[in-house]
Amino acid sequence: MSSVWLPCGNYHENYVIDQGWWQTRVIKGKMILLLAIVFIGIPLFASEYWVGVATMIGYTAMGAMGVQLLIGYTGLITLGHAAFIAVGAYTSTLLVLQFPWPQFLLDWGLAYPISILIGGLVAGIWSVLFGLPCAKVKGFYLILTTMAAQFITVDFVITQYVSQIGGRGQAFSLPPGTIKIGPWIIDSDVKSYYLMAIMLTLIVIIFANLLRSRPGRAWVAIRDNDIAAEALGINIVWYKLIAFFVAGFMGGLAGAFWVSNTAALSPEHFPWFLSLWLVGVILIGGAGSIHGAIFGSIFMVLIMELLQMAVIPISDYYPQLLINFAYLKDSIFGLAICIFLIYEPNGLAYRWWQIKNYFNLWPFSY
């Protein structure tokens, strides 16, 4: 974690303060303000459309967290994370649709929350399965096994077999009322947004706490130099597998959430493009920081929305543009990744860190 220079006059006097969540009162205030904006401000003042966009950002961020853990903190490059999101989504949906839930669980609205957790667990285990080669292979060879995870899981297992369960055809749709948490039925954009905000907050809290405990330090050590880490007594295979599990778990949660947002599910929601998109998100946001994943999601989703808005007026003159917009979008996404990698290789989080430090030390910055 890149440490921030504290404003003048603040000192860390003991370890507890040094490791604290909110190190000064200002930071605490800022975070509470942020939470207030997320939980009260956006749903209250934003229009339905922008709440939908915010939900999309949250979904991307949840998916990107797992990628951030693998790439940014453990140094295991993954190009197949959409597979684990898909596993979570399908597990959760199939549980909701097919599992003979006892009536009292349905009445209490616990079926969907339980299925979210189980979806996360199954995705985590599935992820460990494909993480197993990390015991022996590294670098590019490992990248290719994660790619294999994507193709085997989504294009083969899910499309050919899992989608056939129940004989509904390829696309699943959830009847209204099945996605129910406690007394609330998730059926509107705002409710979906709240579910996203709560899940994302929980994921961030769990992730940040993991990072400042033993596994987190082990992961960072492995990322920085795995041989040195092994020499220090860290069981690197074990911790890499834990990283795969946690990343898959978070991906699975994201997938299970996605079901509530769309109430429909099909293998096309989880193409290889999504895996690469998530990696692009964390690289643009900044690898190796939690808020980097969130910055990246905000940036990428907003850029795409703005592009869409910009294209609509032009399309009066050149209708081909709107028809082929999806392709242009891919192209611009690719170009954005290239430009960021060349000119801003540390991502938005680094820029944010610089700005924050500038104001923390202002006006005497040295």
Partner 1 sequence: MELFLMTLVTGLLVGGIYSLVALGWVLIYKCSGVLNLAMGELTLIGAYVTLTFYQMGIPFVLSVLLTLLVGIVLGYMTERIFLDKLIGEPILTVIMLTVGLSFFFKGIIEFLWGTDTRVFTPPIFALKPISIGYLRISPVYLWSFILAIVLLIVFVAFFKYTRWGLSMQATADDETAALSLGVSARFVYAAAWAIAFMSAGVGGALLGNINGVNISVGYLGLLVLPAVVLGGLNSVPGAIVGGIIVGLLENFSGTYLDQYFPGGVKQIMPFAFMAVFLLFRPYGLWGWERIERV
Residue 333 touching partner 1 (CB under 8 A) = yes
Smallest separation, CB 228 to partner 1 (Å): 5
Specify whether the CB–CB gap between 116 and 253 falls below 8 A: yes
Among 148, 204, 211, 322, binds partner 1 (CB under 8 A): 148
Q: Is the dihedral of CA 44, 301, 32, 187 positive or negative?
A: positive
Q: Is 360 exposed, middle or buried (0-12, 13-18, 19+ CB in 10 A)?
A: middle
Smallest separation, CB 230 to partner 1 (Å): 9
Smallest separation, CB 264 to partner 1 (Å): 22
Among 188, 213, 308, 324, binds partner 1 (CB under 8 A): 324
Strands (E), the chain: 172-173, 180-181, 184-185, 264-265
Q: Among residues 176 and 345, whose Cβ is nearest to partner 1? A: 345
Within 248-277, which residues bind partner 1 (CB under 8 A)? 273, 276
Site string (91-130) toward partner 1, x via CB under 8 A? ---------------------------------------x
Residue with tokens 């649709």: 97
Within 162-191, which residues bind partner 1 (CB under 8 A)? none
Smallest separation, CB 77 to partner 1 (Å): 6
State how far the Cα of 34 lies from the Cα of 54, in Å rounded to an integer: 14
Q: Among residues 119 and 267, whose Cβ is nearest to partner 1? A: 267
Phi-psi domain of 77 (left: phi exceeds 0; alpha: psi -120 through 50; beta: other) = beta
Residue 287 touching partner 1 (CB under 8 A) = yes
Q: Among residues 255 and 267, whose Cβ is nearest to partner 1? A: 267
Within 183-242, which residues bind partner 1 (CB under 8 A)? 225, 227-228, 231
Residue 334 touching partner 1 (CB under 8 A) = yes
Among 29, 41, 102, 139, binds partner 1 (CB under 8 A): 139
Residue 342 touching partner 1 (CB under 8 A) = yes
Q: Among residues 273 and 358, whose Cβ is nearest to partner 1? A: 273
Specify whether the CB–CB gap between 256 and 119 falls below 8 A: yes
Contacts of 127 (CB under 8 A, 6+ apart): 84, 149, 244, 245, 247, 248, 249, 251
Specify whether the CB–CB gap between 251 and 81 falls below 8 A: yes
User: Is residue 7 helix, strand or coil?
Assistant: coil
Residue 25 backbone dihedrals phi, psi, to 5 degrees: -65, -35
State how far the Cα of 287 lies from the Cα of 68, in Å rounded to an integer: 6
Interacting residue ranges for partner 1, rule: CB under 8 A: 71, 77, 79, 130, 132-133, 136-141, 143-145, 147-149, 151-152, 155-156, 159-160, 225, 227-228, 231, 273, 276, 279-280, 283, 287, 324, 327-338, 341-342, 345
